[in-house]
Amino acid sequence: MAALQTAKLSGVSDYVIEWGGRKVGSIKTGFNAAVKRAGIAHCTRHDLRRTAGRFMAEAGVPIEEIAEYLGHSNPDITRATYARFSPQHLRKAAGALEIRPVVSVRQTKEHTPL
């Protein structure tokens, strides 16, 4: 809210998103121009959304919070998409494979029938 209030004070019109005092109906043109100026071959607005979700997961943000931030009504969708980027994802499974101390086993000359 504070950012919107600051933007309103510095704006030259009543529009939330404006360019030269005129209403911006779509950010698609400006976004595509910025992508081109940056020399990026292909990038969509949805790519930014996916990147944000991935960065949050990699930072350990709980899946439920990522879902809420991205506007997913069901955290299972978020979990299916972003869980693999979470540092905790599969941690328990990986921990089961950690090297444990070797246990000495005595061998005997007796053979047990199979």
Residue 103: pLDDT band (50, 70, 90) is low
What predicted TM-score, i.e. pTM, was given to this entire model?
A: 0.59
pLDDT at 113 over 70: no
- The 10 Å Cβ neighbour count of residue 67 is 20
> Which pLDDT value is given to residue 16?
76
Residue 97: pLDDT band (50, 70, 90) is confident
Answer with the residue of higher pLDDT: 101 or 39. 39
pLDDT at 36 over 80: yes
Average pLDDT, the chain: 85
Q: Please identify which residue in the block is written with the tokens 């919107």.
A: 4
C-beta separation of 82 from 63 below 8 A: yes
